[in-house]
Structure 1
Amino acid sequence: MKTLTIIDTFGFLFRSYFALPPLKNHDGFPTGLLTGFAKLILQLYKDYPQDYLVFALDSKEENFRKSIDPLYKANRPEAPQDLQLQLKVAIEWVEQMGFRNISIAGYEADDVIASINKQANRLNVQVRIISHDKDLYQLINDNTFLFDPKKKKEIHIADCIDKYGVTPAQFIDFQSLVGDSSDNIPGVKGIGAKGAAGLLHNFHSLNGIYENIDKIASKRTQELLKIYKEDAYRSLELVRLREDLLEDFNLQDCQMPHQNPLLKITESLKVYEINSVLKKILSKDSAKKSLHLFENATKIRESQDFIPQTPAPTPFHFQAHLLNTDTKLQAFLPKITRDSVVSFDTETTNLDVFNAKIVGFSFSFDGTNAYYVPLAHNYLGVEEQVSQEVALEFIQALFNAKAIIGHNLKYDLEILRTNFGFSPKNPYNIKDSMLVAWLYQSDLPCNLDSLMLRYFKHEMIHYKDVVKKGENFSQISIEYACQYASEDAAACYQLYQKLTHLLPPNLLEVAESTEFPLITCLVNMELSGTKIDIEYFKELKSEMSAKLLNLSEEIFALAQKNFNLNSPQQLSIVLFEDLKLQSGKKTKSGLSTSQMVLNSLFDAHPIVPKILEYRELFKLFSTYIEPLIEHAKLNESHKIYTSFMQTGTSTGRLSSKNPNLQNIPVKTAQGRRIRQGFIAQENHLLLSLDYSQIELRLLAHFSQDKAMIEAFCHNADIHLETAKKIFGGAKAQEKRAVAKSINFGLIYGMGPKKLSETLKISYQEAKTYIQNYFESFPTVKDFLKAQEDFILENGYSLTLLGRMRKFDFRGIQEYQKAAFLREGINAIFQGSAADIIKMAMNAITQANLESKLLLQVHDELIFESPIACAESEAKKIASIMENITKLKIPLRCSISMAKHWGDLK
C-alpha cells in the first residue's frame, strides 16, 4: 500500500529548532533548523521515493478556537527571532521544491492534517504523520500512524495505549480530563493522566463518565468532575480536530518527484552553507540521470508490453438539460434502442441504501448532452417533477439498452431495488467506469473526481458547494441539481469511453466477463443481509462482561493490587517491578507488554495466562459483540448488512466493510463463539462451500511440478506428501505440520527467518528445510525464480486472468525490493484464487437457485438455503465451483451445512 506523508510544518520546525545546535553560515545567518529540514527531505526521498508528501500549515487568520475560549494558547511565548528567520526560508523551500502546502483560514495545521488524513483513508492510502504534537494521537488508526524521523519510530495504536493507557479513539476524552497547560486547555483540575485513564477504562468516554458519575468510587473524583464539568466539555471542543475541511483531495498533486527535490534549491543550500546535504545530492545526481535515461530506453524497447500511463488530458464539455415532466421524459422513450449506450446516475437523500430515498436521476446517450430527471425535490415552491410511475417505466426501458454505464453502479442498482423494487434482468449489459479505472491502474484512486482531474484536468462540481451542511439533495433547487447530476452522467460516459480504449484487450475481457457481472451478484448479497441471534449476543455480552470482571479480580489478587488492565505502563510495573519477571523489549514508555512478550512469559507466573485471556476477551467484546448488537438493532429482522468492495485490494480479493464480516475470528474458541451468533432464518440452513487448498493447487498448476500434480490428481494429503519428500516416510506424519508451514509459506514469499519464527526453530534448521523442499520440488523453485525475474524486469505480476499487480522498483532499497517481490509472488496465487471465486460467484448467480449467497470470505462462499433443497443445491454449487475453469489439477470444494455459522466446518 502506498503511503502519504503529512508534515506538521510549523510543529516539526519548531521542535527541530530547539533540538538542533545553533549553526550559522559565514554571514551569521542561523541555519540549524534549515539543516534539519533539508536532511528530513533527503531522508524521505531516499526511504519513500514512490510515496506521496504534503505539508500542513497554520493559517494566518485568527484561530476559530479563540471563539470557544479567548484564553486558548494565550500563554504561548513569541518565537525566537532566529527561528522566525529560518521558518520563512523553509516555507519558501517547500514551494520551490514543488511540494503542496495546505492551510485553511481560521484553522490550525492539526485540523488540516486531520482533514487530509480523512480523505486519504477514504482513498485506501496509508498515512504517515510527521509531528511531535500529542493532539494528533487522536488520528491514529489501522491506516494512520505518527512518525519520528530521527529515531525512525512509528507510533501506532498499541504505542498510544502503552504511553497513555487509552486508545486513540479515547484520546480527546483523555485530553478533556487532563487538560494542557501549554495551550491553556483547562481539563478537570485534580485529575491527572493516571486517573483519567482509569476513568476511561471503566466508562469508555467523557459522556460515559458523566452518565455514570454516581458509580465512581472516589467521592473526591465525583466532586471534581461535577465542579469542572463545563471546563471538561469546553476542553473537549478545543482538542477535537476538525476533519471535514476538505471536500476532496487530489493525491496525485502530492507525488514524490522522480528527481531529488533538493536539487531545485541547490543555490539556496549553497548560500546557507548546508554542505553536508549538498555533498550527498550532487554526488548522486549524474548517476540518477543515467538511470532514468536507461529506464526510458527500456520502455521504448518494450513498447508492445502494456505499461499503464496517464495520457494527455482531453477537454471535457457537456450540456445539461432538464426533463421535469412526464411528457418530456416519455418523449425520450423511442430514443432508447437495443444499440444504445447510456450512462446513468442517481441522486439520493442518504448514502445508506436502506434509508436513502431517490431524489432524481441523470443519464446521457453521447457524453455531451446529459439529462436530469427530478422526482422528489422537497422545498417551498418546488417546480413540477416526474412521477414515480413514469420514472420507473423509463428506467426499465433504459436497462434494456446495449450498455448502461455507471460509476460505482452497485450503489445505484441498490437504490433502484430499495426504492422501486427494480432489478435489471441482464447482468452483462452493465458497465462501470470505476472498475475499468481500477483494472487500468489499481494503485491509484478511482473515485470520479480524481479520475476526471487525472484524465481530463476537469474539476467536478463539489457536493458541498451544492448541498448546504445539515441538508440533503432533496432540498436543493432543481436548477442546481440539474447541473450537478448532469455533469456526473456526462463525466462517467466520457471517462468510460476513454479508459476502455486505453485498457488492453485481455483486461477489457476481464472487465466484461468477470468484474461487471459481479456487480449484480454483490447487490444481491448486500441486500440479503445475514441474520444474527441478537438475544444470543446480548447473553454473550453479559457473560463476557462478567468474565472480564472475574478475570480482573483474579489478576488483581495475583498482583496484590488494583490497576488499569488496559494500561501497558501500569501492567509493566506490575510484571517487571512488583513481580520481578524477566523484562522483555523496551519501548519509549517503558518495558513492553506486547503479545509476543507475554507469550514468552506464559509459564513464568500464573498472572500472565490470565492477562492474555483478558486481552482476547476484551478485544472480542469491544470489536465485535457490542458493534454487532448495535448494527442488528437498526432493523426488525436483526440482520447485519455489510458492503463488499471490488476495488478495495491490490490482489483483486473482495473486501468487506461497515461491518467487516470477513475478519470475524475463527482460530480461537472465544472467537468462534462470535460466528455462532450468525444464524439461518427459520426453515433454512447455512451452507459453506470452501475451495480446498486453492492456492497450493494453483502453485501445482503454474509450476507444473509432477509430484504435486500427481498428489492432487489422486486426492492425496498434499502436506503429508510434502513431508514424505523432505523428511522421508518414517517421519512424515510427525513433520506434516512443518511441511504445511513450508507449503503455504512459499506462496506468501516466506524465507528462512520467518519460517524459523513460525516453527520456533533455528534459522539454520529453517534454511535446511527450505533447501530440502526445493530439492524435492525443483520445478517449484524454477517457477518462483522465473516469476521474480519477470516481476523485476516488467514491474508487475499476473494472475490467472491476466490482472496485474504493479510495482515501481526505481530508486528503492534492497529491503523494499524484497518486499515487492514477496507481494508480487503472493499476488499471483491470491489474485488467481480471487479470479476463480469471482467467476464461480457469477455462474452461481445465473444458476437460478433457491439458495441465497450471503457472504464471501476469501476462498469460502456462505449461502442460506431452504432446508428441503439444501443438500441438492449444495452439490450443484460445488459442481459449478469445481468446474468453473480447467486447470492441470482438479479444483475441490468442501461442503458444510448448519443452522449456525460457527458450526460450519
Structure 2
Amino acid sequence: MDNDKLSAKKTITVIDTFGFLFRSFYALPPLKSKDGFPTGLLTGFMNFISNIGKDFQTDYIVFALDSKGDTFRNAIYDQYKSHRPDVPEDLLKQLPVAISWIEEMGFKTAIKSGFEADDLIASIAHDARQKDLEVRIVSHDKDLYQLIDDDTVYLFDPIKKIIINEEKCYEKYGVHPNQFTDYQSLLGDSADNVPGVKGVGAKTAEALIKEFGTLENIYENIESVSKPRWKTLLLENKEMAFISKELVTLKKDCHCIDFLDQFELPKENPILKIQDTLAKYDLTKIVERVHQNGLNYKTQMPKAKEIIKYDYTLLDTKEKLEKVINSIPKNSIVAFDTETTSLDTKIAKIVGFSFCFNENSAYYIPIAHSYLGAPEQVSIEDAKSAINKLNNFKLIVQNFKYDFDIIKFNFDIELNLFADTIILAWLLDSSSKVGLDALAKNYFDHTMIAFKDVVKKGDDFSTVDISNACNYAAEDALMTYKIYFKLLEEFKKQNCEHLLKIANDYEFKFIDVLINMQNNGVKIDTQILKNLKIQNQEYIQELTKKIHELAGTKFNINSPKQLGVILFENLGLTASKKGKTGYSTNEVVLNKLVDSHEIIPVILDYREAYKLQSTYIEPLLELASNDSENKIYTSFLQTGTATGRLSSKNPNLQNIPVKSSAGREIRKAFIARDGYKLVGIDYSQIELRLLAHFSKDKALVDAFNSDLDIHSQTAVKIFGEEKASQKRNIAKTINFGLLYGMGSKKLADTLKITPKEAKVYIDSYFEAFTNVKEYMKSIEDFALENGYVETLIKRRRIFDFNAANTMQRIGYLREAVNTKFQGSAADLIKLSMIKIFEKYKNNEDLKMILQIHDELIFEVKNEKQDEITNDLKKIMENIFTLEIPLKVSVAVGNSWGDLK
C-alpha cells in the first residue's frame, strides 16, 4: 500500500448536543422504564453512541453544550429567545441524565458561560481548520449552515444519516453557506425571536442575496433595489437587519482544541462503562448488543474502578507544618508539587505547595493566596525551611523541570530528584498520554479535579479559596505518589525493569541539562527581525498580487474553498484529490501540481512566507522585545515525541524551515553575546551510520570505516562509476528515504520519475547492500512478535498491533523502523549532552543553548573557542562505541544562520 494513503486528513466530529437530544425526543415514541421514567430521548442517544464508527468514522469527537443563563446576544437584543415555549417535562427529566452520561462514558464536552453551543461549534470548527482537520458537525440546524465549507466543514444529519454540504444548502435555501448570515439577517428566525426585516419572506431574502450578495451591499445599493415595497421594508428595518446579523453570526474565538488527544474516541467501551446505570433505566438491550457484537470502532473492556480513599489536610501555620514534616520517617519517598500564578517559570510566583508520603493522606501549605478575606498563611521563611527539610527525603515529582525552576527562583533552593513520574510513564509507553490527569484516569479510573473548575478564567491560583486549593493541590501530590508505585508495578509486570535503570542513568540526569539550557536562553538581534518582518510583509503582498494576476481575479488565498474553485474550476487543473465535501488544496496536492501551472509554485511560496510571518518572525520579535536582554527562552519537552527526540514550545524552534532563504534569515537573528561565538556541532549522517552499525552490512560498514562519501558510494553501487557523480543526490534521497519507509510511489513523487523506475532504484539498492533489506525486515518482525521496538540504549516504543486496523498496522511497522534509527540518534545526542553538561556546568566559558534534532549549539568564549570546540568534538565522537566511527561536523559563527 502507498505510504501516501496513510496520510489522509483526520476528522473531528462536533455534536450539537441539545439539538440532537431534542430531535431524538420528538423522533422516538414516548418510551418509559418499568418505574415510569421517560427513556425515549435516552434510547435515541445511546443508539447514536453505539453507531459511532458505523454511521461515520472519526478520529476526535466533542459534545458542544449550551450554558445556563443569558448570552452576549441578550445584551445586543433583550428579546432574543424570549418567546420560546416551555419544554415538555419528560424532555427536561431526561436531558441532565444524558448530559451526565457523556463524560461518564469518557467523551469530552465543550461549554462556556455567555455563549451558545453553536458558538462553541463554530469556534471548534475554525480552530480545527487551522489544524488541518476535517470537521463533521452532527446537526441539521440551519443556524449552523453558515459554517459549511465543502473542503473541510459539513453537517451530518444523524436521523436521516445524510451529509449536508454546500450543494444541499443551495438546493434548500437558494444561497451559499457564506451568504447564510446575510440571508438570516433579512428573514429573521421566529424560533429564536431574531427580528430580521419585517415583511421579508424566504423568496424575497433569497432574491436579494442572489442579486447583492451581502446585507452591507444591499444597503450600499438600496437605490438599485427594483421593487419599491422591498426598498421600503429594508429602509424601515435597517437597524433590526444589522442587529439580526449580529445575533445570527456565530463566534469563532470562544473555544480552541489545542490538546487534540483529549478529544480522541474513548479507548474503553463507553457503553459498558455505564452499563449498571443503563440497567436502572431498563436500557439493557443496547448493553446486550454491545456485549455480543462490540462497538463499530475498537475498544477495550472498562477497567474496574478503584475507590481512592484520601485525607487532604491544610497546613496553614508553622506549627502544623513542622509537626507533620517531623513525623515523616527517615528515607521516605515523598511526592511534591507546587501551585503558582503562571505556567511560565520566568514570571511565576509560588502560591503554595503540597506533599504526600503515604497512600491515604496529602497536605497543602498555602503561602500567597491573595483574595479579599484570605486568612493568615505560612510565611515565605517558614515555607523555605520546610522545603529544605523535604529536600532531604526521596522526592517524587510529576514534571520535575517545572517545579525545580519554581523552587529555585522563589526560594533559591535546588530540589533533589528521586524520580519524575512523567519520565517514568513516558519510558513505559512513549506513545500514550503522560499528564497527571491521564495517568490517574488510566491507572485508577480517577477523574482529577480540573484546573478550570478551581480557577476562574482570567484569574490565577492565588485567587482560589484555600479550602478548594487544598483539595486540588493535595490531590496532585497524592496521585503522583500512587502513580509512582503503580508504574513500578507496571515495569515489573511488563518485564522491562531495565527502563528504571535508563531513567536513573540518563533520563533524570537529562532533566538538569534541559533546565540549564532553557535558563541560558538565546540572544536575539531584534533589528534583524524588525527588518525581516517588513521585508516579508512586502514579499507576501507581491505574491498576493501575482497570484491574483495569474488567477485572473481577486480571492482569499488563505481560504481552501476559494482556492479550490480557482485551481480546479476556473483554471481547469486536475484535482488529484477530492474529499467527500470538495477539493483538497493541501501541500501534497499542490506539490503534485507544481509543474501544471505557474500559479502553483507562487502559492507554495506564499504559504511558506505567510507561515514564517505568523509562526516565527512576529512571535519571536515580540518575545525578544519583552526581555531586558533580548533573549528568548524556549521550553524543551523531554517527553514530547514517541521516538525520544526533543521537541520545544513557546516558541517552537525545532521547525524553522532549513531550506528557505527566509528561514535562514530568521536564524541570523539568533546571535552570540558579546565576547562569545556560536558553535554548532552536529552528527554527520548519524542515522545511516546507525544503519551500518545495526545491520552490519559489509558494504556500508566498509564505506564508513574508510571514511568514504556514503552517498557517492551508493550512487556507484546503483548507477555505476560513470553516472555516480551526477546521480549522487538521487542516491542521497534513497539512503534517507528507506530509513523512513519510503516506498517506490513516494520515491517516484520525490524524484519526479515513474514508480517503475523508482522500484528499479530500490531493488538495485538492496542488491548492493545485501544485509539492509533483511535487517529492516527483522525490525518489523521483532515489533510484530514483541509489540515494541528498542533503541540503542534499550528504550522502548510500544505498538498495539492487536487493536490496529490494516492501515494502522502498516503505519506502526514504518514507525518501528523510524524509531530504531531516529530514537537511537536521539539517544546518542542525549548521552553527549549529559556528558558535556556534567563537565562544563560551572564553566562560564561555555553555555549549551539549543538542541535541534542532531545539532547542538553552544555559546563559547572567544579566547577558548578552539580548545573547547575540540573537546566537544572529542566527547561527541566517542560517546558510544559503534561498529563504525561517529563523526561530527563543526561550524563557528556570530549567528545561528552562520552555522550552515
TM-score (norm 1): 0.74
Distance in structure 1 (CA, Å) of the matches to 2:319 and 2:273? 62
| CA apart distance, 1:358 | 0.7
Give 1:904's aligned residue: 899
Structure 1 Cα separation of the partners of residues 111 and 482 of structure 2: 33
Deviation at 1:667, TM superposition (A): 1.0
Q: Any conservation in 2 of the 1:684–1:866 contact (CA below 8 Å)?
A: yes
Counterpart among 587, 608, 611 of residue 616 in structure 1:
608
In the alignment, structure 1 residue 892 sits paired with structure 2 residue 899? no
Q: Relative to structure 1, is the Cα distance of residues 540 and 334 closer, same or farther in structure 2, using a 3 angstrom cutoff?
A: same
Residues 788 and 796 in structure 2, CA contact (< 8 A), matched pair in contact too: yes
Cα 1:132–1:391 shift into 2, 3 Å: same
Paired residue for 1:876?
A: 871
Q: 3-state SS of the aligned residue for 2:801? A: coil
Mapped to 1, the partners of 2:116 and 2:649 lie a distance apart of 31
Q: Deviations over 1:830-862 (max 9, x none)?
A: 122222222222222211243222222111122
- The residue that corresponds to 1:454 in the other structure is 442
Deviation, structure 1 residue 321: 3.8
Aligned: 1:545 with 2:537: yes
Q: How many residues are treated as equivalent by the alignment?
A: 808
Q: For 2:511 and 2:650, locate their aligned partners in 1 and report how far apart those are by CA, in whole Å.
A: 18
Name the SS of the counterpart of 1:361 in structure 2.
strand
Relative to structure 1, the CA distance from residue 12 to residue 597 in structure 2 (aligned partners, 3 Å threshold; closer, same or farther) is farther
Which aligned pairs between 1:335-734 and structure 2 lie closer than 5 A? Answer: 339-401=331-393, 403-424=394-415, 429-503=417-491, 504-556=496-548, 562-567=554-559, 595=587, 609-734=601-726
Contact 2:645/2:853 (8 A) holds in 1: yes
Residue 229 of structure 2 is matched in structure 1 by none
Counterpart contact for 1:844–1:877, Cα < 8 Å: yes
Alpha-carbon spacing, 1:405–1:125, altered in 2? closer, same or farther (3 Å): farther
Equivalent of residue 320 in structure 1, options 308, 312, 316? 312
> Quick one: distance in 1 between partners of 2:14 and 2:571?
42
Deviation for aligned residue 1:763: 1.3
CA distance in 2, matches of 1:260, 1:357: 41
Structure 1 counterpart of 2:685, one-letter code = Q
Alignment of 1:163-182 (within 5 A): none
Counterpart of 2:220 in structure 1 is none
SS of residue paired to 2:704: helix
**How much does 1:829 deviate?**
1.3
Alpha-carbon shift at residue 357 of structure 1 (Å): 0.8
SS at match of 2:434: coil
1:643, CA displacement in angstroms?
A: 1.7
For residues 716 and 246 of structure 1, the distance between their equivalents in structure 2, rounded to whole angstroms, comes to 46
| Structure 1 residue 317: Cα displacement | 3.3
Q: Which residue of 2 aligns with 1:56?
A: 63
CA distance in 1, matches of 2:746, 2:759: 10
Check the 8 A contact 1:326/1:386 in 2, yes or no: yes
Matched, 1:255 2:262: no
SS of residue paired to 2:670: coil
Conservation of the 8 A alpha-carbon contact between 2:128 and 2:257: no
- Residue 519 to residue 444, structure 1, CA distance change in 2 (3 Å): same
Question: How far 1:412 moved relative to its partner?
Answer: 0.9
- Does the 8 A contact of 1:344 with 1:405 survive in 2? yes
Give the match's secondary structure for 2:629. Answer: coil
Change (3 A) 1:175 1:621: farther
Query: What does the per-residue CA deviation read over 1:866-893, in whole Å, with 9 as the maximum and x for residues that have no partner?
Result: 2222332222222222222222222222
Which sections of structure 2, spanning at least 5 residues, go unmatched? 1-6, 28-39, 171-176, 198-204, 218-236
Query: Partners in 1 of 2:260 and 2:747 — Cα distance?
Result: 46
Residue 540 of structure 1, CA deviation: 1.1
Which residue of the other structure, out of 729, 753, 756, is the alignment partner of 1:761?
753
**Residues 648 and 654, structure 1, Cα contact 8 Å, conserved in 2:** yes
Q: In structure 2, what is the Cα distance between the partners aligned to 1:260 and 1:325?
A: 43
Q: Is the 8 A contact 1:362 1:372 kept in 2?
A: yes
Identify if the C-alpha distance between structure 1 residues 239 and 835 changes in structure 2 by more than 3 Å, giving closer, same or farther. closer
In the alignment, the residues of structure 1 paired with residue 650 and residue 213 of structure 2 have an alpha-carbon distance, to the nearest angstrom, of 34
Equivalent residues of 1:115, 1:245 under 8 A apart: no
Q: Give the residue type in structure 1 aligned to 2:485.
A: Q
Contact 2:362 2:475 in 1 (8 A): yes
Q: Is residue 44 of structure 1 aligned with residue 36 of structure 2?
A: no
1:195-206 alignment runs, 5 A limit: none
- Residue type at the aligned position of 2:851: Q
Q: Give the SS at the match of 2:312.
A: strand
Shift in alpha-carbon separation, 1:595–1:494, aligned structure 2, 3 A: closer
Deviation at 1:898, TM superposition (A): 1.3
Q: Tell me if structure 2 keeps the 8 A contact 1:529–1:640.
A: yes
Q: Find 2:736's aligned residue among 736, 741, 744.
A: 744
Gaps of 5+ in 1: 21-30, 165-171, 200-223, 273-277, 297-308
Distance in structure 2 (CA, Å) of the matches to 1:809 and 1:904: 43
Aligned residue among 771, 781, 788 for 1:779: 771
Structure 1: how far apart are the matches of 2:269 and 2:657? 38
Structure 1 residue 821 displacement after superposition: 1.0
What amino acid maps onto 1:902 in structure 2?
A: G
| 3-state SS in 2 of match to 1:810 | helix
* Alpha-carbon distance in 1 for matches of 2:44, 2:376: 66
Please state how far the C-alpha of 1:626 moved relative to its aligned partner.
1.8
Aligned to 2:727: 735
Shift of the alpha carbon at 1:548? 2.7
Contact 2:848 2:858 in 1 (8 A): yes
Query: 1:860–1:195: structure 2 CA closer, same or farther, 3 Å change rule?
Result: farther
Distance 1:376 1:630, change over 3 A: same
Shift of 1:500: 1.8
Task: Establish whether residue 67 from structure 1 lines up as the match of residue 57 from structure 2.
Answer: no
SS in 2 for 1:855: strand
* Structure 1 match to 2:861: 866
**Amino acid across the alignment from 1:410:** K
Whole-Å separation in 2 of the counterparts to 1:876 and 1:854: 17
Whole-angstrom distance in 1 between the partners of 2:343 and 2:461: 11
Q: Give the root-mean-square deviation of aligned CA atoms.
A: 5.6
Contact 1:853/1:864, CA 8 A, preserved across alignment: yes
Deviations 1:413-449 (A, max 9, x none): 111233233334x6xx441112222222333322223
Structure 1 residues 175 and 824, CA gap change in structure 2 (3 angstroms): farther
For 1:178 and 1:673, how far apart are their aligned partners in 2?
Answer: 47
The whole-number CA distance in structure 2 between the counterparts of 1:316 and 1:422 is: 33
Show CA shifts across 1:161-186 (max 9, x none): xx99xxxxxxx999988977686789
3-state SS of the aligned residue for 2:335? strand
C-alpha contact (below 8 Å) 2:645/2:822 kept by paired residues: yes
SS at match of 1:884: coil
Q: Could you say what secondary structure the match of 1:363 adopts?
A: strand
Q: Which amino acid aligns with 1:872?
A: E
Secondary structure, in 3 states, of the residue corresponding to 1:847? Answer: helix
The CA distance in 2 between the partners of 1:497 and 1:601, in whole Å, is: 55
Distance 1:513 1:622, change over 3 A: same
Question: Are 2:20 and 2:139, in contact at CA under 8 Å, matched by a contact in 1?
Answer: no
Q: 1:464/1:257 Cα in 2 relative to 1: closer, same or farther (>3 Å)?
A: closer
Match of 2:836 in 1: 844
Distance change (3 Å), C-alpha of 1:794 and 1:671:
same
Question: How far has the Cα of 1:398 moved from its partner?
Answer: 3.1
